[in-house]
C-alpha cells in the first residue's frame, strides 16, 4: 500500500496514520499489539520491509519505545503506536526522549480505562497522561485528529515537529477516529512538506550534542556518522555528560522548557467555526468534534447560534487562543469522553462570569449530538 497522492479513497483512521507515517519517510516502527491501535503496526509490518525500513514487534511496550529511541538516535525516522495500558508502560521512555531530546512519534489510540477498562471502546482519558504521565518537568507536544484526513495530516505534522524540535510528539487519536472509515481526498505529494532533522556542520571535535542555539534546539548527529557523543537520561551538560552543577542543570532545564514555550506559534493550532459571533461555544477535540459540529447544525435549525472551538494541538495548551476567543462568552460547553480533563484548562483561562458546562461520558460510547444540543438548550 503506497500513499494514494491526489486520489480519493475510503480509508480507516489507523490506516491514514500509517499512510501519513509512510509519507513522512518513517523507517522504523517498534511496537507491541494492543487494541485499538494494532492496524497501524499491521500495515507497517507489511510496508516497511518493501521500503528497506524496519518493522519489529518487541517483547513489550517498554522495549518498543526503547527500540524506537535507539533507532532514532541511529538516524531513522521512528515511531510506535499503542493504547492506554501500553501508553502507561511507555511513560518512563517518554521522559527519556524528552531529556535526551530524541525525535520520534508516539501514537496513542485512546480506549476507555483505567487499567484494561473497555479495550474496544472509545475514551479521551489519556489527555492528562499525555501531558504529565512521565515524571519531572518536561515539554509535551500532543496533537488530536478529528477526521481520517487529519490522521494523515497530523501524523506528518507530528513527524515534522518532532524532527524540528528534537522531542517526542504524541498523536492522541481515539478508538472512534482510529476505526472509522471515511472518504479522504489525499493531497498531492508536492503539497506536503516533509522536514528532516537539522544535522551538524561543525567539525567533529567541536561537536556538542546539546549545543545552545537561538531556537534552543541543537543540530543532531546520529550514531555511526563519525560524530561520537554520549547520551544519558541523567541531567547533562552541553556535551551530554552527567552534571550536578547548578548552572548546567538550570541551563538544560530552561532550554527544554523554552524550546517549546518560546515557539508556540509553530506548535499551537486551533480551528474555530462561527466562534466570533456566538455567545455560546462548544469546546471539543478529537472524535467529539464531530458530535459538536453536528450539534451546531441541529441548534442552528432551532435558531440557536453556537460556535465550535477545537484545539488541534492539545499540548502546549492554546492558552492565548482560549483567552482571546472564549473569555468574553456567556457559556462554554465542554463535551469530553472522560470525567473532566481539559475542562479544567478552560476554567483556568476564563473569568468567573463565563459558565463552563461539562458534558461527559466514560461508558465507552460517543457523546451524541443530542446530548450536546440538550446541554445547549438548557442555557439558551
Partner 1 sequence: MPAEFPYEHKYLRAKKKFPHVWCPGCGIGIVMGSIIRAVDSLGWSKNEVMVVSGIGCTSRMPVYLDFNTLHTMHGRALAFATGIKLANPELRIIAVMGDGDALAIGGNHIIHSARRNIDITAVIVNNYNYGMTGGQHSPTTPLEKITKTSPYGMVEPEFDICELLKAAGSVFVARGTVYHVIELDGLIRKALEKKGFSVVEAISPCPTNYGRDNRLGDAVRMMESLRDDSVNVAQAARMKPEELAGKIVRGVLADREAPEYTDLYLELCRRVRSSGEVGE
Residues that bind partner 1 (CB under 8 A): 27-28, 30, 45-46, 49-50, 52, 54, 56, 58-60, 62-64, 66-76, 78, 92-93, 96, 222-224, 226, 228-234, 239, 241-242
Q: Which is nearer to partner 1, 120 or 232 (CB)?
A: 232
Nine cell digits for residue 46: 507489511
Q: Which is nearer to partner 1, 96 or 283 (CB)?
A: 96
- State in angstroms the smallest separation of the CB of 211 from partner 1: 14
Q: How far is CA 276 from CA 269, 281, 323, 325, in A?
A: 17, 9, 13, 7
- State in angstroms the smallest separation of the CB of 107 from partner 1: 17
β-bridge partners, 313: 143
- State in angstroms the smallest separation of the CB of 26 from partner 1: 12
What's the CA gap between 189 and 84, in Å, rounded?
A: 33
- State in angstroms the smallest separation of the CB of 24 from partner 1: 16
First to last CA, the chain: 49
Nine cell digits for residue 331: 457559556
What's the CA gap between 265 and 254, in Å, rounded?
A: 19
Q: Which is nearer to partner 1, 228 or 355 (CB)?
A: 228
Strands (E), 280-354: 280-283, 306-311, 313-315, 331-336
- State in angstroms the smallest separation of the CB of 68 from partner 1: 6
Q: Which is nearer to partner 1, 55 or 283 (CB)?
A: 55
- State in angstroms the smallest separation of the CB of 327 from partner 1: 42
Q: Which is nearer to partner 1, 228 or 258 (CB)?
A: 228
Which ranges of 74-205 would DSSP assign to H, the alpha helix? 84-89, 91-100, 127-132, 148-165, 175-179
Q: Which is nearer to partner 1, 31 or 335 (CB)?
A: 31
Query: Over the range 245-276, which residues count as b (16 or more CB within 10 Å of their CB) and which as e?
Result: eeebeebbeebbeebbeebeeebbebeebebe
Q: Which is nearer to partner 1, 238 or 273 (CB)?
A: 238
Q: Which is nearer to partner 1, 18 or 73 (CB)?
A: 73
Closest to 336 in 3D by CA, of 366, 312, 307, 356: 366
What's the CA gap between 323 and 313, in Å, rounded?
A: 16
Instruction: Taking the CA atoms of 156, 152, 340 and 115 in sequence, report the sign of the dihedral they define.
Output: negative
- State in angstroms the smallest separation of the CB of 61 from partner 1: 10
- State in angstroms the smallest separation of the CB of 47 from partner 1: 9
- Give the containing element (helix H, strand E) for 120: strand 118-122
Amino acid at each position: 500500500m503506497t500513499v494514494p497522492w491526489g486520489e480519493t479513497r475510503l480509508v480507516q483512521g489507523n490506516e491514514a496514520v500509517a499512510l501519513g507515517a509512510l509519507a513522512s519517510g518513517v523507517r522504523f516502527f517498534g511496537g507491541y499489539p494492543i487494541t485499538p491501535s494494532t492496524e497501524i503496526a499491521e500495515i507497517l509490518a507489511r510496508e516497511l520491509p518493501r521500503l528497506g525500513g524496519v518493522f519489529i514487534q518487541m517483547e513489550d511496550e517498554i522495549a518498543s519505545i526503547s527500540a524506537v529511541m535507539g533507532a532514532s538516535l541511529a538516524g531513522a525516522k521512528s515511531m510506535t503506536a499503542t493504547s492506554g495500558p501500553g501508553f502507561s508502560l511507555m511513560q518512563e521512555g517518554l521522559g527519556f526522549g524528552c531529556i535526551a531530546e530524541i525525535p520520534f512519534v508516539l501514537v496513542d489510540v485512546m480506549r476507555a480505562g483505567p487499567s484494561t477498562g473497555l479495550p474496544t471502546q472509545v475514551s479521551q482519558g489519556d489527555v492528562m497522561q499525555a501531558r504529565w504521565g512521565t515524571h519531572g518537568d518536561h515539554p509535551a507536544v500532543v496533537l488530536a485528529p478529528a477526521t481520517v484526513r487529519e490522521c494523515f495530516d497530523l501524523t506528518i505534522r507530528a513527524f515534522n515537529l518532532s524532527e524540528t524540535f528534537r522531542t517526542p510528539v504524541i498523536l492522541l487519536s481515539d478508538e472512534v477516529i482510529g476505526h472509522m472509515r471515511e472518504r479522504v481526498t489525499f493531497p498531492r505529494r508536492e503539497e506536503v512538506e516533509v522536514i528532516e532533522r537539522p544535522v551538524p556542520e561543525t567539525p567533529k571535535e567541536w561537536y556538542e550534542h546539546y549545543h545552545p542555539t537561538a531556537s534552543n534546539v541543537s543540530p543532531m548527529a546520529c550514531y555511526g556518522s563519525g560524530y561520537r557523543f554520549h547520551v544519558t537520561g541523567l541531567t547533562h551538560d552541553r556535551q551530554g555528560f552527567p552534571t550536578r552543577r547548578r548552572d548546567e542543570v538550570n541551563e538544560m532545564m530552561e532550554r527544554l522548557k523554552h524550546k517549546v514555550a518560546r515557539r508556540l506559534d509553530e506548535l499551537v493550532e486551533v480551528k474555530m467555526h462561527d466562534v466570533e459571533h456566538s455567545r455560546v461555544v462548544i469546546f471539543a477535540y478529537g472524535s467529539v468534534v464531530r458530535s459538536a459540529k453536528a450539534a451546531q447544525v441541529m441548534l442552528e435549525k432551532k435558531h440557536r447560534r453556537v460556535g465550535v472551538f477545537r484545539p488541534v494541538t492539545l499540548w502546549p495548551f492554546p492558552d492565548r487562543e482560549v483567552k482571546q476567543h472564549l473569555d468574553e462568552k456567556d457559556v462554554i460547553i465542554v463535551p469530553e469522553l472522560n470525567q473532566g480533563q481539559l475542562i479544567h484548562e478552560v476554567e483556568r483561562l476564563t473569568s468567573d462570569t463565563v459558565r463552563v458546562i461539562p458534558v461527559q461520558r466514560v461508558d465507552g460510547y460517543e457523546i451524541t449530538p443530542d446530548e450536546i444540543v440538550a446541554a445547549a438548550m438548557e442555557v439558551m
